[in-house]
Structure 1
């Protein structure tokens, strides 16, 4: 009797809603091919352990409960690059060979990695070092992975941000205030743009479009003159100050992330307009929670197709969504084609058509 093939699955990078739906779909599809499926814990960190930190996945356990669950049951990490691993003494080590060997220690025939562009780049390098058969699945709330129109987690993050605007609008109107909402978006403004349109924002600030506080103030003054007593402003966390300085926060353990631009923008608006301003920072609220139907759907589609690629022996590929159907693309193409917001995109034009300001004095119409 032929030995059953072993398929590994891991989640890497920041968590998001829909990861468990992708794990579930891959495991259930793998069952049809007769594969043994192992979930690797904590991303590439699990492959460093000896024995490898992994758990046998039984598709019979993957009922609808997992489909609805946020986060990732396998755990993840977004700070332990195996090529530049920092140990407890602060030393930087290259632990990539250990991770690469972990694939073989577990006896895997193929590995599916669910991650963003950074994770994909690392996993592809590891696959080259270790001789892995690897397939990628795109996930990121920022929706900036190239070669795919959508990534797992984006729809749920936009939904959270839109709900926040829905809740901020009545209190803004009740107290004659300008409400500033800071949303995630490490390098791209997709969440701010989509939520701003859906949530009726008056101003959307994203890193792809330079802004001035004077232009933002003009928009707010125009709203006042029209007779409305409130305004909603959405800003992506990667937006910089007017002088071009990123706003970052220091975290326990020494790491830094974007955060705080909302308070900067709020203060500058108050100075320029005299308005009463309040700032809300959503932060990691956008990552957690139950995935919306769109993320469950895309995660299921991606998970099934990833296993089909393994069965077909098509490796070094990433599953993607293009023109209303699932496809697969060369993994390097997805890594190379970073997907920022284009200044003349349909959503930007839609926002301008609705009278939303991007704070720019020379808009592309």
Structure 2
């Protein structure tokens, strides 16, 4: 009977609990095996902090946000003796392999461990939808819906006061959340890292909306490089050394107000995009990924990750998900930009 470990690593994401529940059901009911959860991501693997996943633990969790196992940004491929600790944990728990649920950083660690002989299958997770190798990752749909709901509210309060409203969304170096939520709300400008535009262009879009009697809505991704300033990250860096993004909306607001004469307010949506109840789509996709990951592990498809291709769940090499992010094409952005202003 198979016995697998599972962990959730990196930033939390709506749909993680659906993955855990589905993986448990698959390994238990289909294969008569056991699923062991590691607390706090890869840190739990290094510290052998484990709990057996049971029916009681997973009851009713599919619609819960966050992750019942907890998470961290620990990298198991770094540090003296880390690889030995991972191997020892797998041996001590009699595991046939690991299912690692994470984003680009977590899956990079999984790929490195596989190169060192550790048996691991990946599950792609990120609200940013920036992972290559899969059409969509769970968590993205929820983040877009949360952002869309917030922007709908900003539109009404902006119209009441004839203000320009700026909504800053997450996404790091990709603009998927910004573009999808911006299109959904009919935003007058969407600013994304992949295709920077000048302040003059933003002003033109804002004034065009104002001249038609509308209160402008500007959507900006947190990694948008403002002309002359580059990527704005006044909060310094994270422990990993990456810039701690956030604040571009507040930086942009006074510039637009000065140039256009329109009272301008910025709202940073921040971590509310990652919390709370996952949408039905993300619950279903997470469940499909969880079951497919167990199937891949049983089949010995180590070094693979489950992925969405059209409507099918397939497997792809972990190497496809790492090293670069999935970017929005110029054609896709240009088609959306026709509606700006």
Please give the range of the TM-score, normalised by the shorter of the 2 chains: over 0.9
Which residue in 1 is equivalent to 2:162?
176
Which residue in 2 is equivalent to 1:89?
none
Q: Is 2:157 the partner of 1:161?
A: no
Q: Is 2:42 the partner of 1:76?
A: no
Contact 2:224/2:248, CA 8 A, preserved across alignment: yes
Query: Post-superposition shift, 1:275?
Result: 0.9
Query: Post-superposition shift, 1:301?
Result: 0.8
- Give CA-to-partner distance per residue, 1:99-123, whole Å, 9 cap, x none: 3432223221011111011110112
Q: Is 2:253 the partner of 1:266?
A: yes
Contact 1:207/1:240, CA 8 A, preserved across alignment: yes
Residues 1:219 and 1:53: Cα distance change in structure 2 (over 3 Å): same
Which residue in 2 is equivalent to 1:35?
33
Number of aligned residues: 338
CA distance in 2, matches of 1:108, 1:334: 25
Residues 1:101 and 1:167: Cα distance change in structure 2 (over 3 Å): same
Contact 2:189/2:337, CA 8 A, preserved across alignment: no
Query: Post-superposition shift, 1:57?
Result: 0.5
Which residue in 2 is equivalent to 1:222?
208
Show the 5 A alignment for 1:212-291. 212-228=198-214, 230-250=215-235, 256-291=243-278
Q: Is 2:59 the partner of 1:59?
A: no
Which residue in 2 is equivalent to 1:44?
42
* Aligned with 1:7 (options 4, 8, 12): 4
Taking only aligned residues, the RMSD between alpha carbons, in angstroms, comes to 1.8
Contact 1:136/1:306, CA 8 A, preserved across alignment: yes
- Give CA-to-partner distance per residue, 1:162-217, whole Å, 9 cap, x none: 00101111100000100000000111000000000011211000000121111111
* Aligned with 1:207 (options 186, 190, 193): 193
CA distance in 1, matches of 2:259, 2:310: 44
CA distance in 2, matches of 1:114, 1:317: 12
- Give CA-to-partner distance per residue, 1:227-268, whole Å, 9 cap, x none: 22x110000001122114221143798675111111111121
Which residue in 2 is equivalent to 1:118?
105
Which stretch shifts more, 246-255 or 235-244? Answer: 246-255
After TM superposition, the score normalised by the length of structure 1 is 0.88
Query: Post-superposition shift, 1:350?
Result: 4.3
Q: Secondary structure at the match of 1:182?
A: strand
Q: Is 2:303 the partner of 1:316?
A: yes
Which stretch shifts more, 334-343 or 113-122? Answer: 334-343
Query: Post-superposition shift, 1:283?
Result: 0.7
Unpaired runs of 5+ residues, structure 2, are: none
Unpaired runs of 5+ residues, structure 1, are: 86-92, 358-365
CA distance in 2, matches of 1:331, 1:134: 10
Query: Post-superposition shift, 1:84?
Result: 4.3
Residues 1:244 and 1:344: Cα distance change in structure 2 (over 3 Å): farther
Query: Post-superposition shift, 1:281?
Result: 0.4
CA distance in 1, matches of 2:269, 2:182: 14
Runs of 4+ residues over 4 Å off in structure 1: 251-256
Contact 1:217/1:273, CA 8 A, preserved across alignment: yes
Q: Secondary structure at the match of 2:106?
A: helix
Residues 1:215 and 1:75: Cα distance change in structure 2 (over 3 Å): same
CA distance in 1, matches of 2:177, 2:236: 23
* Aligned with 1:142 (options 128, 139, 159): 128
